Amino acid sequence: MKRAFVLIANKASTAPFKLNDLAGAAGRMDIVCRCIAQSLLLSHSIRKNVVFYSILLGNPDPPKAIKVVGDEVKYLGPDERNIAGLIKKALSLKVSENWVRSTPGFYIARRSLSEILNELKDENFEIIYLKEDGVDIRNVVKKFKSPAFILGDHLGVPRDLEKIILEFADYIVSLLPISLQADQCILIANYEIDRIRIM
Amino acid sequence: MKRAFVLIANKASTAPFKLNDLAGAAGRMDIVCRCIAQSLLLSHSIRKNVVFYSILLGNPDPPKAIKVVGDEVKYLGPDERNIAGLIKKALSLKVSENWVRSTPGFYIARRSLSEILNELKDENFEIIYLKEDGVDIRNVVKKFKSPAFILGDHLGVPRDLEKIILEFADYIVSLLPISLQADQCILIANYEIDRIRIM
């Protein structure tokens, strides 16, 4: 079953950044890196059925979107610095409306959230907004066919973007009644689906 | 409910290391960092009921053990580089059999796995060995009172250490029939307990 994750990265840099300050000057790019890892990685293997998107909204040139396609990624180390290097490489390319490939499986484009959501709808994904006051995932996970989970970083989802998400959302889903980090939400969503699909 | 995690870090450096090569020269210290984050962190808060241990078995001076006490940690950023800086600081101290504090909540000592397991038993923890062919966590999680989960890094648990764990183990538990990274196992164990305790 194909799955997608879309992270809204409110402050993530939209130009190449220093690898030594991911959590600072790069605008919490460490969160984007961890979300890529938890979307795509298992122990010594890659989830080929997963596509990861992030909308980067930080300075100096927002919005830019990155896309990581599990089925095409060749090698992906799980450490933040390695993944950040691949994002940095993508950010060094000139962007247009079309996806441009930087390294195997890594793409970049000038796309907004609503364009990404339209792209997912066109590919028959269900749009699932991860939000603390949604319905418990265990009540609905069995219904998912091709879920695309939309979530915010440490700053959450800005109100104008939430309005867009709500126009597209098929489900509003919660994982726990406590506040989790974005990468934790992604891993738990993957895990709850694995429980249905693998066990 | 108090919880503990014990990571066996087969190659993790036992001397101060360079922060720019956590996944290489530091002996996969990136894994230790991610395991600390997933043991202790929620969004914008710390799990005060969790204690994390790692047995560092890499060169040049193994074994050394680090302990991170959720209830004492003051500030802990979730990015690998920040956590690695705190481990590096601990590794710069002279070690003895007794725990020495390096920064709030971070301790280091010359301790072996069996000494750590004895410490946990003395504190009335149940020893739970995380292993792919164990019983499904959902069948036993309700019985846990004070679980201490023992797990290996990307290289697994060496046979001589597994023998020691099995002498102590109250449960042998599996999370999924697919192979997960150590930090993923820790987050899922926390999540399955949260499901029982919070919801």
- Summarised one tens digit per residue, pLDDT across range A55-112 is 999 999 999 999 999 999 998 999 999 999 999 999 999 999 999 999 999 999 999 9
* pLDDT score, position B81: 98
Does residue A87 belong to the interface with chain B, where contact is any CB pair within 8 Å?
A: no
Percent of chain A surpassing pLDDT 70:
100
Domain locations along chain B: 3-194
Burial class from Cβ neighbours inside 10 Å (0-12, 13-18, 19+) for residue B89 reads middle
For chain A, what is the mean pLDDT?
A: 97
Which residues in chain B touch residue A80, judged by CB atoms under 8 angstroms apart? 30, 79-81
- What per-residue string of b and e applies to B11-42 under the rule 16 or more CB within 10 Å gives b? bbbbeebebeebbbebbbbbbbbbbbbbbbbb
In angstroms, the CA A11 to CA A62 distance is 9
At A52 the pLDDT is: 98
| Contact between residue A59 and residue A14 where contact means Cβ atoms under 8 Å apart | yes
Which portions of chain B are predicted below pLDDT 50?
none
Q: How confident is the model at residue A198 (pLDDT cuts 50, 70, 90)?
A: confident
Residues 6+ apart with CB under 8 A from B191: A175, A176, A184, A188, A191
CA distance B159 to chain A (A): 19
The whole-model pTM stands at 0.98
- The nearest alpha carbon in chain B to A28 belongs to B79
Q: Is A80 on the interface with B (CB under 8 A)?
A: yes
Q: Which of the listed CATH numbers 3.60.9.10, 3.40.1280.10, 3.10.180.10, 3.40.190.10 matches domain B3-194?
A: 3.40.1280.10
What was the pLDDT predicted at B109? 98
- Whether the CB of A199 is below 8 Å from some CB of chain B: the reply is yes
